[in-house]
Amino acid sequence: MAELTIGLQRQVRSIVEIGKPKVVMLIVFTAYVGMLLAYPDAVDWPTVLAACLGIGLVAASGAAVNHVVDVRIDRIMARTSRRPLASDLMEARFALAWALIWGVLGTAILLAWVNALTAVLTLIAMLGYAVVYTIYLKHRTPQNIVWGGAAGAAPPLLGWAAATGQVGIEGLLLFLIIFLWTPPHFWPLAIAKVDEYRQASVPMLPVTHGIQATKYQILLYTVFMVLVTIVPWIIGMSGWLYGLAALALGGEYLRRAWRLYRSPRHAGAMRLFGYSIVYLALLFLALLLDHYLL
């Protein structure tokens, strides 16, 4: 009985892990902020809840497909070697079955209780990540994370579309912020794990162009990102609370990126990677607080 219980717990844990819950939580949060920013007054909470659930399920579907496609690489890299498929805790066919269930259910929820535009855009974003990025871009160009980042940048735009039924300039601006955030978020991790990516034959930028060139690109994208994060304040989409938060958070990001660029070593890469996640969460939280407090 004890062995059966332990086996069941492992299976449940494996199912949860292939959905990448931490990533999905960040996706849903940014989509949630995009929705709330789109409502000038009363919030349509049933639509918000349905959109969060639908977007989250479709995102989990894409994550499960990623586990299946990348199983060979995951087994080589220490960072991913303990994933369910890489460690043989789950078979690929079961992961694909869950991907299909989550994808169909999430799309159905968006079609039934949100709108067709959000459903279509969410499905395109998922296919962009699971197919275009994971299967094609990741293995063919060192700019993989730049163009593949378009799929990861979609959530706030999806939230805006869920609330308004259209793609507005504000939603596109939120999309652009995350699009520019993605390279300086992921490349520090690629620097820290460069030997693993090289061993797995994945042409990440530090593998093909060297670590110093990657540090320069991180700094360059950080500058562009910080400039774009100030635009919502400039055009009146947000107020002074968000503006100050964007300047403070962006200034710290620039300081860390400059420090990494100037350092002869790359020990600070993982610290910058960790800060990038905190940065995005706090930036979107500032947008939300500014919207409701001012």
User: Cα dist. 135→69, 130, 140, 144 in Å?
Assistant: 7, 7, 9, 11
Predicted confidence (pLDDT) at residue 1 exceeds the cutoff of 70: no
Q: How confident is the model at residue 7 (pLDDT cuts 50, 70, 90)?
A: low
**DSSP-assigned letters across all residues of 202-257:** ---HHHHH-HHHHHHHHHHHHHHHHHHHHHHHHTTSS-HHHHHHHHHHHHHHHHHH
Of residues 68 and 3, more confidence is placed in 68
Q: Domain ranges for the chain, please list them.
A: 11-167, 168-294
Could you tell me the end-to-end alpha-carbon distance of the chain, in angstroms, rounded to an integer? 57
Predicted confidence (pLDDT) at residue 6 exceeds the cutoff of 60: no
Q: How confident is the model at residue 176 (pLDDT cuts 50, 70, 90)?
A: very high
**According to the model, what pLDDT value does residue 218 have?**
97
The two tokens of residue 38 are: 């789109």
**According to the model, what pLDDT value does residue 240 have?**
95
**According to the model, what pLDDT value does residue 238 have?**
93
What average pLDDT does the segment 152-162 reach? 93
Q: How confident is the model at residue 292 (pLDDT cuts 50, 70, 90)?
A: confident
**According to the model, what pLDDT value does residue 47 have?**
95
Among 155, 148, 195, 164, CA closest to 38: 164
Distance, in Å, from the CA atom of 287 to the CA atom of 106, rounded to the nearest integer, reads 27
Domain 11-167 sits in which CATH superfamily? UbiA prenyltransferase (1.10.357.140)
The two tokens of residue 3 are: 């062995």
